[in-house]
Amino acid sequence: MVLWYHAASLYNETYFPFTSKVRTHFTNQKAMSISTTKNELLAQIKTHLGNQFHLTPEQIDNMLPSFMVALRGHMENLEAAQREGEIAQIARASHTIKGALLNLGLTDCAELALKIEQQAKTEADTQKFPEIIQQIRNLLSPLLN
């Protein structure tokens, strides 16, 4: 669990002081598609964790189950916040899942979460939240099922 928080803090220091750094990172990553398989996503995550955080394959294999449990929980929290229609809760949940997705190198999904977060904070286009959340769910479905 300590590695999860260490990884999160490293990532936040690297990508969140300036939105432009986030945008640059998003555009430099391989795009995901709904047809991406679980093995392809896991390989992408493992490569990212190894490159970004200098983790050994053994460390990554030990951490992945915890990451997947956390990711499922974050997705459930985002969906619950959307069902309840509480804008502030949607903003918090989207911010949380965005960080988790960036930690795993899943930038396509993180960009969607960022879009929700920004729209929730400005209360703009909130009617699109269910569609965007479903896009995230579709992209992550190989990992969440």
**Domains, the chain, ordered by start:** 2-7+38-144 (1.20.120)
Percentage with pLDDT > 70 across the chain: 76
Residue in the block written with tokens 């899943």: 106
Question: Which among 64, 49, 67 is positioned nearest to 10, based on CA atoms?
Answer: 49
Q: Is the pLDDT of residue 2 over 80?
A: no
pLDDT band, residue 139 (cuts 50/70/90) = very high
Tell me the pLDDT tens digit for each residue of 101-114: 999 999 999 999 99
Per the rule left: phi > 0, alpha: psi between -120 and 50, beta: everything else, 105 is left
Q: Is the pTM of this model over 0.85?
A: no
Tell me the pLDDT tens digit for each residue of 55-67: 999 999 999 999 9
